[in-house]
Structure 1
Amino acid sequence: MIKQIFGRLPRKQSKAAESRESNAHTATLSSNSSVNSQSGELSTNRALSTHNFVTPGSYSEYYYGGKTYPTVDPKLNGISPSPTYETLPSFKDVPISEKQNLFIKKLNLCCSLFDFNDQTKSLKEKDTKRQTLLELADYVASVSGKFTEYIMQEIIKMVSVNLFRPFTPAPRENKIPEALDLEEEEPLMDPAWSHLQIVYEFFLRFVTSPETDAKLAKRYIDHSFVLRLLDLFESDDPREREYLKTILHRIYGKFMVHRPFIRKAINNIFYRFIFETEKHNGIAELLEILGSIINGFALPLKEEHKLFLVRSLIPLHKPRCVSAYHQQLSYCITQFVEKDCKLADTVIRGLLKYWPITNSSKEVLFLGELEEVLEATQPSEFQRCMVPLFHRIAHCLSSSHFQVAERALFFWNNDHIDSMIKQNHKVILPIIFPALERNTRSHWSQAVQSLTLNIRKLFSDHDPELFEECLCKFEEDEAKEQEIKAKREGLWNRLEDIAASKAHCESVSVSLNAPH
């Protein structure tokens, strides 16, 4: 069964296959019961940098459970020398009393690393290690009896040696233009995935196993381990990030003592991404984990969680690459508003603060998110922010980009939003009327004109008197604007005449004073 699951994978997957794989992992993640992070919290005053762990790139030793384990010689560029592999029997060929020792021997065997960039090297050893990893994953899934502390230590050592590695930035010919659709970029696949995938599956089964005692395992799956696991979200391989997403979510659910630390560590990743680098491969996956965590928050929301919304989630709208993770971000934001309707005003004003001015595709994303937030907004909160909100919507309605204008006009198709607009139409109509009127008279898109006429008729039927007042005021303002424009043009014409006259006088004076 396990061999069927982990058959040899192709080097590259089609987009459809990647999408199916991503959706499967997402379904698994979201199907889990939401974790209430309010309970079992500990103080997180201990600085992140004080943990005793090996940073990416310094692969001289690992420290776990009071012991130091040598790993890879740095001179070998992260690759261990090929060991002399002893032939180990299968688990089914040894008595129950020997299985634990055999398990440890197989773990130690799998601590050796190979160069997967060269497909011709160590073929026999690579295949032996892969088969051993498959046996280990199968054994962890079927074992009966609690894992001992020593076995946990050996498991974490093997997982750490295989997974925790430095990432070399992939060479790019040119910087990716902002306008380029990042989804068209071909993802980079790790050549060692045939082994890494089984290590991830093995570790996932260990974490979720009922035989893993969380109180004992937390000594080895500690803060330093969690930090290094979070570092792996920088991987270019989307398959690896999917596994990491599932594993971190399960760790969050099983180890209650780590929950505040995990949230704080993710928060720090977001800060570094927003305000320093704007480069990180795993923001979408981290947000997907947070979406499930936020869904489990108990009410009333803690001040810590509200600050996380204001200081991290809302500023995530700022980076130019927001489209890469906007769907997950929008879900997290909406979850907060659904949890506490009073946060709607804070969220809407935050969106307006980071509203894109010159990026129309990003503006369409913001309008879609704004509609989801408004759908969860109560009328009292809507009234608090409707004036600045509809000044921005008026700009969108009159946008020359037809997708932006259409997306703004679609707000009236939402019954809840339309109901709140009608309740406050005396404030809203005067704000957006000029944009509606200009669209009907001069917008180049026939679809935008047609939609605008429908909205215009809704207001006209709902309150004819106010509509006529707005129309009269619009025509007066247009007349005044034309008058000001005519005066300005007349002033410029007079200035041009004066300049031309002065130039003519100077030329005549020069010609009269010239010697004959």
Structure 2
Amino acid sequence: MGAEVEVVRAPAPPAGGKRRSTTLLHLLNLEKPAGVFVFTAAAGAVKLPPPSPEPEAESLIDKIASCCRVFTFAASEHCADERDLKRARLAEILAAVRSSAKPPGLVLLDHRVMAALVKMFAANLFRAMPPPPPSACPLSAEAGGADAVGAEEQLQAGASSLLPSWPHLGAVYDVLLAAVAASDAKSLRAHVDRRFLTSLLALFASEDPRERDRLKAAYHALYSKLTPERAFMRRSMANALLRFTDEATSSSPSACSGGVGEVLEICGSIINGFAVPLKEEHRGFLLRVLLPLHRTRWLHAYHRQLVYCVLQFLHKEPALAGAVVQGVLRRWPVTNCQKEVLLIDELEEIVDALDQRHFDALALPICNRIARCATSSCSQVAERALYVWNNERFLEMASSGEGTMERILPAFVASIEANLEQHWSKCVQQVTASVKALLQQVAPGLYDRCAADLAARRAEADAEAAVRAARWRRLELAAAANSSSTDVPRAEG
């Protein structure tokens, strides 16, 4: 038999204004207003209730631990039921984590739950990336047909880049995003270390665009929460971009890997939050990391994000325009027409971001390069360079600057006259005629003077060429005469 239990009813509190009691009985009376307490006859002491269990948290931890098993989704893997069960458990974990962010949360993300979540993230996400195919390029979903492969081959390559395990990976990324949103910064710092962040950044090498997109959102959310680790995360992204640039320039087999576009999108959001004046570290990121990215042959895959980052720097500190223009012109392609079109677009956007003073200082190198592109044998490059004059901002600053038109127009006049005389494309000749009519309307006297100077230089060059040709003919005749006079016939033996 168990110990005898005696039920004692507490006496009623005394009437009157006496001093409030602090005895244990009084405290118990406050706890139990009905005045019923249970004492054991053996111990003779108050039996305190045990701590309330947390069945929700324990169940959640068990579900998280069961999701650490990774399935390959191979045809030979006969465990479809277990895969479906894991997917259902991931959905339950996601619902529980999201509910913890809504007060009052059903399950608090305490230390044990967060430790189990981080372990589950590492088991499912962190893996060795397979080498890319020889014809692949970074961000193959955005690259288009740059390598002139067939449309059917491109579709097959895009389908092969999709991960078969995405039903599990996508759910894991959803849980990661929900956990970052529901956790406070202190809890994240206790469980997400630099090794976890480095492994997360390495996942941008994935060929699946869906994974890179979710990873971009998760990495940026961690950057927002982990304030002490922001400098480390910026350095990590800079190192990843530099490594890609070096590998792409050296034609390394692994040069095609790396989600450069997604990393640059994160960088663009970070640059947008930089304070003015910029720190030297941030200027160095522009000059030593972003500008060298212009020289890779995969520029078309991430050019839009790269231009956004560069323009953010120019909006915050216009004095960097000279270094940016110089860096772009230094990395101008020689035979890649697609890159030339992209860089002309970038120069035009840079001009839109400048004021009149900075444009006047940079107008000559920019316009000289555009004028050279206007005579390109590639019709797309030539037309794109000529269409710069359709930009109202460019035309306004070129015509209103003091002495700017006098410095930039001679190069354009030479390109226009050369196109009208000898360019093979009829479309380029038509666009050139339209630009000529525009310039004659904007600066009629100046255009005529530049055309006259060009004709005089051509006549002078033709005269010099004629003199050189006559001199060479005289030298050839003299050499032939000297050779004939010294030629002695052999004596017959």
TM-score range, shorter chain: 0.7 to 0.9
* Whole-Å separation in 2 of the counterparts to 1:255 and 1:376: 33
* Whole-Å separation in 1 of the counterparts to 2:83 and 2:278: 51
Cα deviation, residue 496, structure 1 = 4.7
Cα deviation, residue 116, structure 1 = 2.4
- Determine whether 1:153 maps to 2:115: yes
Secondary structure in 1 aligned to 2:127? Answer: coil
2:92 maps to amino acid: E
- Determine whether 1:229 maps to 2:200: yes
Report which stretch shifted further, 481-490 or 123-132. 481-490
Residue 470 of structure 2: aligned partner: 490
Secondary structure in 2 aligned to 1:482? Answer: helix
* Whole-Å separation in 2 of the counterparts to 1:464 and 1:308: 45
Residue 320 of structure 1: aligned partner: 297
1:290 maps to amino acid: C
Partners of 1:147 and 1:213 within 8 A in 2: no
**Residues 237-280 of structure 1: CA deviation (Å, up to 9, x unaligned):** 11111110111111111222221111111011111111245523
Secondary structure in 1 aligned to 2:361? Answer: helix
Partners of 1:146 and 1:213 within 8 A in 2: no
Q: 1:438 to 1:173 in 2, by over 3 A?
A: closer
2:438 maps to amino acid: L
- Determine whether 1:242 maps to 2:213: yes
2:55 maps to amino acid: E
Cα deviation, residue 179, structure 1 = 5.5
Cα deviation, residue 493, structure 1 = 4.0
- Determine whether 1:257 maps to 2:245: no
- 1:87-106 alignment runs, 5 A limit: 97-106=54-63
Cα deviation, residue 127, structure 1 = 2.1
- Determine whether 1:448 maps to 2:428: yes
Pick the aligned partner of 2:266 from 289, 304, 316. Answer: 289
**Residues 3-24 of structure 1: CA deviation (Å, up to 9, x unaligned):** xxxxxxxxxxxxxxxxxxxxxx
* Whole-Å separation in 1 of the counterparts to 2:149 and 2:284: 31
Partners of 2:248 and 2:297 within 8 A in 1: no
* Whole-Å separation in 1 of the counterparts to 2:65 and 2:479: 91
Residue 61 of structure 1: aligned partner: none
Report which stretch shifted further, 455-464 or 279-288. 455-464
Gaps of 5+ in 1: 1-94
Cα deviation, residue 112, structure 1 = 1.4
Residue 189 of structure 1: aligned partner: 162
1:274 maps to amino acid: T
* Whole-Å separation in 1 of the counterparts to 2:214 and 2:149: 22
* Whole-Å separation in 2 of the counterparts to 1:206 and 1:179: 39
Pick the aligned partner of 2:408 from 421, 428, 444. Answer: 428
Pick the aligned partner of 2:279 from 302, 312, 318. Answer: 302
* Whole-Å separation in 1 of the counterparts to 2:81 and 2:479: 90
Partners of 2:244 and 2:258 within 8 A in 1: no
Residue 147 of structure 2: aligned partner: 180
Residue 32 of structure 1: aligned partner: none
Pick the aligned partner of 1:207 from 171, 174, 180. Answer: 180
Cα deviation, residue 514, structure 1 = 4.9
Partners of 1:115 and 1:121 within 8 A in 2: no
* Whole-Å separation in 2 of the counterparts to 1:491 and 1:119: 83
2:329 maps to amino acid: L
Cα deviation, residue 124, structure 1 = 2.5
Cα deviation, residue 218, structure 1 = 1.1
Residue 34 of structure 2: aligned partner: none
Secondary structure in 1 aligned to 2:190? Answer: coil
Partners of 1:242 and 1:285 within 8 A in 2: yes
* Whole-Å separation in 2 of the counterparts to 1:380 and 1:172: 47
| Structure showing greater Rg | 2
* Whole-Å separation in 1 of the counterparts to 2:310 and 2:149: 23
Residue 476 of structure 1: aligned partner: 456
* Whole-Å separation in 1 of the counterparts to 2:299 and 2:362: 24
Residue 75 of structure 2: aligned partner: 118
TM-score calculated relative to the size of structure 2: 0.79
* Whole-Å separation in 1 of the counterparts to 2:427 and 2:89: 62
Q: 1:173 to 1:382 in 2, by over 3 A?
A: closer
Secondary structure in 2 aligned to 1:219? Answer: helix
Report which stretch shifted further, 449-458 or 260-269. 449-458
Residue 357 of structure 2: aligned partner: 380
1:126 maps to amino acid: R
Residue 86 of structure 1: aligned partner: none
- Determine whether 1:198 maps to 2:171: yes
**Alpha carbon RMSD of aligned pairs, Å?**
2.6
Residue 137 of structure 1: aligned partner: 94
Cα deviation, residue 152, structure 1 = 0.7
* Whole-Å separation in 2 of the counterparts to 1:450 and 1:96: 82
Q: 1:463 to 1:125 in 2, by over 3 A?
A: closer
Cα deviation, residue 96, structure 1 = 9.0
2:57 maps to amino acid: Q
- Determine whether 1:218 maps to 2:180: no
Residue 127 of structure 1: aligned partner: 84
* Whole-Å separation in 2 of the counterparts to 1:391 and 1:342: 21
Q: 1:296 to 1:182 in 2, by over 3 A?
A: farther
Q: 1:142 to 1:261 in 2, by over 3 A?
A: same
TM-score calculated relative to the size of structure 1: 0.75
Secondary structure in 2 aligned to 1:358? Answer: coil
Q: 1:376 to 1:183 in 2, by over 3 A?
A: farther
Report which stretch shifted further, 230-239 or 287-296. 287-296
1:97 maps to amino acid: E
1:352 maps to amino acid: L
Cα deviation, residue 175, structure 1 = 10
* Whole-Å separation in 1 of the counterparts to 2:392 and 2:301: 30
Residue 419 of structure 1: aligned partner: 396
Cα deviation, residue 491, structure 1 = 4.1
* Whole-Å separation in 2 of the counterparts to 1:459 and 1:155: 66
Which of 1 and 2 has higher RCO (CA within 8 Å, sep 6+)?
1
2:171 maps to amino acid: I
- Determine whether 1:460 maps to 2:440: yes
- Determine whether 1:275 maps to 2:252: no
Report which stretch shifted further, 134-143 or 147-156. 134-143
Same amino acid, percent of matched pairs:
38
Cα deviation, residue 181, structure 1 = 5.0
* Whole-Å separation in 2 of the counterparts to 1:293 and 1:299: 13
* Whole-Å separation in 2 of the counterparts to 1:421 and 1:366: 20
* Whole-Å separation in 1 of the counterparts to 2:187 and 2:245: 36
* Whole-Å separation in 1 of the counterparts to 2:259 and 2:340: 23
- Determine whether 1:329 maps to 2:306: yes
**Residues 355-405 of structure 1: CA deviation (Å, up to 9, x unaligned):** 112211110000011111110111111122222222211211111111111
Secondary structure in 2 aligned to 1:226? Answer: helix
Pick the aligned partner of 1:163 from 108, 120, 125. Answer: 125
Residue 9 of structure 1: aligned partner: none
Secondary structure in 2 aligned to 1:253? Answer: helix
